[in-house]
Amino acid sequence: MRSPANWPYPKMIAHRGAGKLAPENTLSAMRLGYKMGYRMAEYDAKLTSDQIVILLHDAELERTTNGQGLAGELSFSQLGCLDAGSWHSADYAGEAIPTLNAIASYTLANGMASNIEIKPTPGKESLTGQVVARQARELWKEASTQPLLTSFSVQALEAAKLESPALPRGFLTKSLPEDWLAILTGLDCVSLHLHHEAVTKNVLEQVQTAGFRLAVWTVNDPERAKELLTWGVDAVITDNIEQIRP
């Protein structure tokens, strides 16, 4: 079995920047997560039609912006006019969809580590993995702690591996597939990112014995977070940044 993968990341990771306290995947969310004591954020990256990497979870715009349709079919100049904050609260009205470049500037200036989830528009898995990995490599080229690239898409992770093999990768999944070890090995991952309901002591032991790290999502119950950390998971990703503090 492999030696344990290098893991320079904090135990606690703020989901989409600040969980639910600020509009997800925005600069305001990153700032609030940092203010609440978090030194690592997870956020979602996808491509515009002109291949600018932006932060957005859904393929569609309706839930978190005042736009309509697929984000991947619009240019950055079109997306830049949208309001990505009013859906959350009046305090964040006018919040913009940020670029990966902007998020890198903030997190690097403040010593905040990044878990970049590659979130492709359907049909653009390989292209998204390639471009996100390329931009991440360039943006963090001077950083002592490299960003962790994760995805549910094996295709996106394969493209990221080919484009920027030195960047660490993690495979996201809701349940543990029978071929999890082959997937992690084939993608040369450092970590498995598993939904907390699928995590048992036995699963943790299997993953860590195989030389991989285990990050657990999305844990919003403080007692469950405490239990998982006591077991020895490598990271807990949470929305509940008020009650589950680093």
Residue 149 near residue 133 (C-beta atoms within 8 A): yes
CA distances from 155 to 190, 198, 202 (A): 17, 23, 28
Residue 51: phi, psi to the nearest 5?
A: 65, 35
Any idea which residues carry the catalytic annotation? 15, 57
Residue 59 near residue 72 (C-beta atoms within 8 A): yes
Q: Which two tokens stand for residue 205?
A: 């032991």
Strands, E, within the chain: which ranges? 12-15, 40-47, 53-55, 113-118, 148-151, 169-173, 191-195, 213-217, 235-238
